[in-house]
A and B are shown apart, each in its own frame.
Chain A
Amino acid sequence: MSYVPSKVLSNEQVYGNYYILVVRTLRKLRKTPLPPQFSMVWVPGVDLIPLSYAYYENGLAKFFYKVVGEGTKSLSLRKPGDVIAISEPIGQSFIEIEKPVFLVGGSGIAPVLYYTKYLESFSGIWGVKHGELAEALITRFPKLKVLAVASEDCTFGFCGKLTDYLDKLNLNSNELVLVSGPTEMVKRVCSWLKGRSVKSGLVIAETLVKCGLGACGSCVIGGVLLCRDGPVIGCEAF
């Protein structure tokens, strides 16, 4: 991975462990990232973290991330002016789609944020533990409003889990469903989709990505390398 040095412009705590990092690359990326591509974000001397784009325009990149371990913790401590580095965009873009239905769990919203820039229209459900997270993100990405929200703490939208609301969805046979979220949630949603007649059930998958170059093999999922051929793969892999 040749990294593009990037200056931190802001690194804001959105809610709880959730942050939005905004960076300015010191040189333009060779390829403009498109949803749901991601980059490897290097926290120098600490870790390399795969993060989906939430936004990109002319060297200004935004990433929505959750602090889950040492690497993301250290990323959350980077301040405006600090220099980190990002890789060129990784994976295949997937934007030639019409009116997809997003079924999203928690931080799986990350790639959907960037989709709001490219899609005229979409719908779906976003399940969160805490309604405040949904509220905070919708303020910053108003186009998310079209998603129904289910919050487990019952403070925003429907009360309960996303999976409680699946049967209320009126899916028809030419609908494209894009699932994004933690593996357990993806498995449940994909097995629910199996019995439905939709055009296709696809997942914006997450795996362990270590090199981002197709060399180390850690991101293999459903017989493909996520960093090369993903992150969109079929529900069958789950």
Chain B
Amino acid sequence: MTEKLETRVAGLQLVHPVMNASGILGYLPEHADLMASWGVSAIVSKTFTREPREGYNPPIIVRLRCGSLLNAVGLSNPGKAGLRPFVESAKKHGVPVIVSVGGISVNDFIDVAITAEEVGSSAVELNMSCPHFKGGGLELGRDPVAVFNTVREVSSAIRIPVIVKLGLSDRIVDASVKALEAGAKALTLINTVRGMAIDVYSFKPLLTNVYGGLSGKSIHPIAVWAVYSVYKETLADIIGVGGVFTWKDAAELILAGSRAIQVGTALVYRGPDAVRNIVRGLYVWLRNVGGRSLLDLVGAAHER
């Protein structure tokens, strides 16, 4: 049933459009086995930085009402030295392995991206949108000049495709255009949206970091808008992410312009079957709307 769902993004051939979003597991070899068992078409690592990072003290992820999560994990990861064991474990499963790369300086990004290439990753996804990474993340990604410089440097340092993950900002279209001009082969849209929650009994913020990134159902319409807006301007390869719980959410992002989809929060709320259920639903949808191939429907919402 899967040939109709085959897709291609940033030059990567995928058996279906659904991969995991960076940040759910993804930094230890054992994680890769669990992630592969979800049935994803590509394994996306958690963000790796040059040096190991402890991350923040718990609570780091809290469940909110309405199928959403708020997180400030703090990019905990074993540093670039942990890339080889993770990527080698992930590659055993026969799907592309995309390494999420984080940093503050251009050299941080280059260093981790080169290591990712050396250890056999299929592509890198530059995390320029984490909403709680001081000095990096969203602070870089909302500045089109910083995006251009970083992406250009990384793109010229490695041969594997560079994907750039951007988040909600008032310059998301500009930043996307700059990323593509600088050599990005695809964009991942969007990251979590900065948010906060307060416990009304103790009067304390729920997250130890006070604020964090909101994901899940509450950001889905924002993701649809972001993908639609950027696709309209660029016709770029886009990986849509944000509150995808069902095939319908995925289909919306595809019609807005996504060639692939990432699923994160739904894996917490719906469990390990979330990906397979979405893929099955997309197949039925494709048949019901008379589509021959999923790729025919990418951006179809733009046709008037």
Name A residues whose Cβ lies closer than 8 Å to a Cβ of B: 1-3, 5, 26, 40, 42, 44-45, 47-48, 83-85, 210-211, 213-218, 220, 223-225
Closest partner residue, chain B, to A221 (CB atom):
B30
Q: Is the CB of A217 within 8 A of B26?
A: yes
In the complex, B189 has a CB within 8 A of chain A:
no
A220 touches B57 (CB 8 A): no
Closest to B203 in A: A44
Known pairs A83-B201, A223-B33; A48 contacts B59 (CB<8 A): yes
Which chain A residue shows the least CB distance to B58? Answer: A48
- Residues of chain A within 8 A (CB-CB) of B205 are 45
Rounded to whole Å, the gap between the CB of B79 and the closest CB of chain A is: 15
Pair B201/A211 contact, Cβ less than 8 Å: no
Closest to B31 in A: A217
B residues apposed to A, CB below 8 Å: 23-28, 30-31, 33-34, 46, 55, 57-65, 69, 71, 73, 76, 199, 201-206, 208, 267-268
Task: Report 17 cross-chain contacts, Cβ distance below 8 Å, ordered by A residue.
Answer: A1-B62, A5-B201, A44-B199, A44-B203, A45-B208, A47-B57, A47-B58, A48-B57, A210-B55, A210-B61, A211-B59, A215-B61, A216-B76, A217-B24, A217-B26, A217-B28, A218-B76
User: For the complex, what is the distance from the CA of A44 to the CA of B26, rounded to whole Å?
Assistant: 29
Sort A-B residue pairs by CB-CB distance and give the 10 closest, nearest first: A44-B202, A48-B58, A217-B25, A44-B204, A211-B61, A45-B204, A5-B201, A2-B63, A83-B201, A48-B59
Please give the distance in Å from A221's CB to the nearest CB on chain B. Answer: 8
- Interface residues of B: mostly helix, strand, loop or mixed? loop
Contact of B202 among A45, A211, A216 (CB under 8 A): A45
Chain A residues near B63: list those with CB within 8 A. Answer: 1-2, 213
Q: Are A211 and B60 in contact (CB under 8 A)?
A: yes
Residue of A nearest to B46 (CB): A217
- A1-B61 in contact (CB<8A): yes
A201 to B26, CA, bound (A): 30
Extra inter-chain contacts (16) besides given A45-B202, A84-B202, CB under 8 Å: A40-B58, A44-B201, A45-B204, A83-B202, A210-B58, A211-B58, A214-B267, A215-B23, A215-B69, A215-B267, A216-B61, A216-B73, A217-B25, A217-B27, A223-B34, A225-B34
Q: How far is the CA of A42 from the CA of B205 in the complex (A)?
A: 12
CA distance A2 to B67 in the complex (A): 11
How far in angstroms is the closest Cβ of chain A from B275? 14
The answer for the CA separation of A85 and B201 in the assembled complex, in Å, is: 9
A213 near B28 (CB under 8 angstroms)?
Answer: no
The CA-CA distance from A48 to B205 in the complex, in Å, is 13
Contact partner of B199 (CB less than 8 A), chosen from A3, A40, A48, A216, is: A3
Q: CA–CA, A31 to B220, complex, Å?
A: 29
Residue in B closest to A220 when the chains form the complex, CB atoms: B30
A210 near B60: Cβ-Cβ < 8 Å: yes
Q: Which residue of A lies closest to B65 (CB)?
A: A2
Which residues in A have their C-beta under 8 angstroms from that of B199?
Answer: 3, 5, 44, 85
Return B102 CB to nearest CB of chain A, in Å: 16
**Once the chains are docked, how many angstroms separate the CA of A45 from the CA of B71?**
15
Say whether A215 contacts B62, CB under 8 Å: no
What CA separation (Å) do A83 and B199 show in the bound complex? 11
Chain B hits for A220, CB < 8 A: 25, 28, 30-31, 34
Query: How far, in whole Å, are A85 and B197 apart by their CA atoms in the complex?
Result: 15
Residue numbers in A under 8 Å from B60 (CB-CB): 210-211, 216
Given contacts A5-B201, A85-B202, A220-B31, whether A215 and B25 have CB atoms under 8 Å apart is yes
B201→A213 contact, CB < 8 A: no
Rounded to whole angstroms, the CA-CA distance of A130 and B31 in the bound complex is: 39
Of the residues A42, A215, A223, contact of B59 by C-beta under 8 Å: A42
A48 to B59, CA, bound (A): 6
Instruction: Output the nearest chain B residue to A213 by Cβ-Cβ distance.
Output: B268
**B202 & A214 in contact (Cβ 8 Å cutoff):** no
Distance (whole angstroms) from the CB of B202 to the closest CB of chain A: 3
Question: Using Cβ atoms and an 8 Å threshold, which residues of chain A touch B76?
Answer: 216, 218
Contact B24 A215 (CB under 8 A): yes
Of all chain A residues, which has the CB nearest B202? Answer: A44
CA distance A220 to B86 in the complex (A): 14
- B204 cross-chain contacts in A, Cβ below 8 A: 44-45
Contact A213 B58 (CB under 8 A): no
Closest residue of B by beta carbon distance from A82:
B202
Return chain A residues, CB-CB under 8 Å to B23. Answer: 215
Q: How far is the CB of A194 from chain B (nearest CB, A)?
A: 22
Q: Which residue of B lies closest to A87 (CB)?
A: B63
Q: Report chain B residues within 8 Å CB of A210.
A: 55, 58, 60-61
Bound: A83/B200 CA distance, A:
10
